[in-house]
Structures are given as C-alpha cells and as structure tokens.
A and B are shown apart, each in its own frame.
Chain A
Amino acid sequence: MTKADLAGLRRPNDPPLLILTSLAGGSKHGYALSKDIEAFAGIVLSPGALYGAITRLEERGLIEALEGDARRRPYRLTREGSDALAGALRELRRVTDVATSRLAVAGVLA
C-alpha cells in the first residue's frame, strides 16, 4: 500500500475513509451515506465535502455507481476500494494498538 493509495484515508474523520466505511456495509446513495456516517461516526459531512470525496473516490476506482433512478444513484465499494479500506484500517490499527498497550501498561486501560 503506497502513500498515494492512502490519500484521504489516513485519519478517522477523512471523508473518503468515512464513505468507504459506510459502503462496506452495503451500497448507498448520497443522502443515505450522509445519514449513515452521521449515525456511526457522529460527523455531519457537508454536501460539498461529501460529493467532493465521492468524485475523487470514483475517479480513483475505489467506488462505483450502480444503476438507480434519475435522481438517486447508489454507490458501492469496488475490489480496489475494499483493499484500500483494509490497508487504511491496518495503518490506523497499528497506532491504536500501540496506544492501547501503552495505556494498559500505565494502568489507564484494563
């Protein structure tokens, strides 16, 4: 996984990472994505940020549009999108694992 592959997927609140995470649970259109992200991450993505991220993710081939009605087009993860999300999660997990073990040693976490 190169740095370019992880662009926009490094921080937990990066819109592309949130969108890929949401689509990992099944295909969704823009409004459903927005509501799902708000529900699981507590982050309200503005329409500009949401569609900016959708545009880049589709351009990079990480998500693809499905046939929908004229006004609502659902998106789903591609194989590359799943790989990118898995890679990003491995990176994030490495940090959280270190933080968890150090806090456990300090007695903050059980």
Chain B
Amino acid sequence: MSGVDYARYERWYPSAWRERYGTEFVSLLEATYAGERVPMKASLSIVRAGTLERARELGIVGKSVSDDRAVTGSALAVLMAWTVFVVVGLVFAKYVEHWQWFTAVNERTLPSVAYDVVAVGAILGAVIAGVAALLVLPALLGRIRSYGWRVVAAPLRRTLLVGVCAAAFTAGIVTWANTIHRAGPAPLWPNRVVLLAWFIVVVAAIFIGTASAGTVVRRVELETRTIRRLGSLALAMNVVLVVIFVGVVTFWAATAANAPWFFSSEILRASSAVLHPASTSSPSAFTVVGSTGHDMPIVLVVIGTAMLGSLLVALYAGTRIASRLRRVG
C-alpha cells in the first residue's frame, strides 16, 4: 500500500463529472505517480481543472453550456459578487465610521456624497437580491412539496454550516477587536494573521454558499420567464456594484487627499478612545490632525482588492448574461 489517497483529488470536481470520469481519473493518477505524492504543479492543475469544471456545471463558463444555464449560473456569480460586497462593505462602514470628526467642514462634501452613494447602492442591492430570492422561492417551494426536503437538504446543510462558522468567526473578531482597543497598542502581525484567516473563512463560505445555491437552482427547474427576470436583475445588480465601487474609491481618494491623518493608526486609536472613554491612555482625537498618516491602510487595500475582484467577476458574468438573455427559452 502506498498510503497516498489519490481519490481525494477527484473531490475537486463536481459529482456528475466524478460519476463519469472519476474512476479512470484516479486510475490515471495511480499509474502516473505509482505511490508517490502528486507534485505541487500537477495538484494545482487538478484544482484549476476541477474548479473550472464546477464553474462550467454552474453555467458560469463554457460556450457549449445552454443559454438557460449560462444566464442562471452567471446571475449566481453576480449574487456571489454582491455577497462579497456586503461583507467587505460592512467592514468598510465600520472602518470609516466617524470620519467626519477628522475632516474639515469645508472638505466634507465629496466624501459625504460618496459615502451616501455607497449607502444607497447597498440598499438598492439588497432590494434586488431580495426580489431575486422571491422570484426563485415559488419554484423552490413547489419542488420541496413534490419531492420533499431531500432535494435541498445537503446544499442547505453545507451553506448553514459554513455560514455559522463564518458568523462565529466574525463575532469572535469583533469581540477581540474591542478588547484590543481597550488594551491599548498591540503588535500588528497577530492582527493581520487573524484578519487574513477571517478573510479566507468568509471567502470560502461565500464560494461554498454560491455553489450550494447553484445546486439548488439547478434542481428547481426555473421557468423561462423567471430566468429572464433573474438575468435582468443581475444586470441591474452589475450597475449597482459599479456605483458602490466608484463610491468607495471616491471616498477613499477624497479622504486621502483632504484628511490623510484619518488613516493613521494613531487617529484610529484616538477614535477608539472617544468611543470607549475608559481607555483614556490613548491620545486625544484632535492632537494628531495635521499629521501625515498613511493613505493606503491595509484594511482599505483588502477591501478595495476584494471589491475590484468581485466586480470583475460580476462584469464578466453580466457580459455573459447580456449576450445570452434574448436566446433564453
């Protein structure tokens, strides 16, 4: 016995693919690597191919995928991008709260408008996501009535599990962050490691949730009319995501230009001192106004990168929807 479990590599692929090619694929791995570990390059190739196969199954990529599946899958990709925006948007809102305290009155107009645009975009996005859920709900309930809960039990369980893990991690981080504020200055690297771990957990939860939603939608068999409406909503969501992204970048740029000290660690600690008067050891909020600050704080860089990445996914999916929407049905 080699001890190397080659079968675990086929788990990167969707179940329909595994059923058709799984056994011979594992046989190929056994013959090629003969008990040795699969090299890193080949492992990454399997991860890439399996992920692509899953995306193809959802309808997100592939020219040969039917128009119905392409529009539904691409709408799910836009929904996934929206979910990323919600998560990082909440972090953004928390990070920049009280920004007005540190910006001169005559320089508040642009960031204020940008902040309001982001808030309105968030509300519009939530409405669009809600309408999309309501569109799918009757078909989903009908399916459950006909075939029972087993139709959705497994993906629902997966989504709940990762959702609860991500929520628990988030709650833990928030509690921990408040403790740090009260404890005063702390070394940066543990914060960054924990933040990175949180980010990975949340992104994994969003991916698994989207894949599960895709599984459910595929089993539900939506009407042509519903698919068209979902496609149109996804296109509207694309516009909202662009508006939110532009709002965030404008806010960041305006604040970096007019009140760079807002992004300095001193000011954030000072802000914390104002919020938590018990920690009076922190400097007054206003003693650091006029200092240089760092206009590329790591949190905003992560937020901006996550938003840009998901926006690109949404725009790709939107293009796919726009090119196929008329051919649905």
Chain A interface residues toward B at CB < 8 A: 4, 7, 29-31, 34, 46-52, 54-56, 59-60, 70-73
Contacts and interface: CB of A to CB of B under 8 A. Distances in A.
A46 B41 contact: yes
B16 to A, nearest CB: 11
A73 B45 contact: no
B28 A31 contact: yes
B37 to A, nearest CB: 13
B53 A71 contact: no
Contacts of A47: 9, 25, 28-29, 32, 38, 42, 45-46
Given A46-B41, A59-B64, A52 B23 contact: no
A7 to B, nearest CB: 8
B208 interface: no
A49 B45 contact: yes
Contacts of B64: 56, 59-60
B32 A71 contact: no
Contacts of A55: 17, 21, 53
Contacts of B50: 48
B66 interface: no
25 contacts: A7-B63, A29-B24, A30-B25, A30-B28, A31-B27, A31-B28, A46-B42, A47-B25, A47-B28, A47-B32, A48-B42, A48-B46, A49-B49, A50-B28, A51-B21, A51-B28, A52-B52, A52-B53, A55-B21, A59-B64, A71-B23, A71-B24, A72-B24, A72-B27, A73-B24
Chain B interface extent, by class? 20 to 34
B219 interface: no
A46 B46 contact: yes
B186 interface: no
A54 B21 contact: yes
A46 B9 CA distance: 13
Contacts of A72: 24, 27
B1 interface: no
A46 B45 contact: yes
A105 to B, nearest CB: 40
B278 interface: no
B188 interface: no
A49 B43 CA distance: 11
Nearest to A50: B28
* B29, B41, B42, B52 — most chain A CB neighbours (10 Å): B42
B9 to A, nearest CB: 8
Q: Which of B27, B38, B53 has the most CB of A within 10 A?
A: B27
B27 to A, nearest CB: 4
B20 to A, nearest CB: 8
A59 B38 CA distance: 27
Given A29-B24, A46-B46, 9 more contacts: A30-B24, A31-B32, A47-B9, A47-B45, A47-B46, A55-B17, A71-B23, A71-B27, A72-B24
Interface in B37-79: 38, 41-42, 45-50, 52-53, 63-64
A59 B26 CA distance: 20
B31 interface: yes
Nearest to B9: A47
Contacts of B32: 31, 34, 47
A31 B29 CA distance: 8
Nearest to A33: B28
A59 B28 CA distance: 20
List 3 A-B pairs, minimum CB-CB distance, nearest first: A48-B49, A48-B45, A46-B45
A50 B47 CA distance: 13
Contact of B23 (A4, A48, A70): A70
Contacts of B27: 30-31, 71-72
A59 B17 CA distance: 12
Nearest to B64: A59
Contacts of A48: 42, 45-50
A30 B306 CA distance: 39
Nearest to A7: B63
A81 B28 CA distance: 23
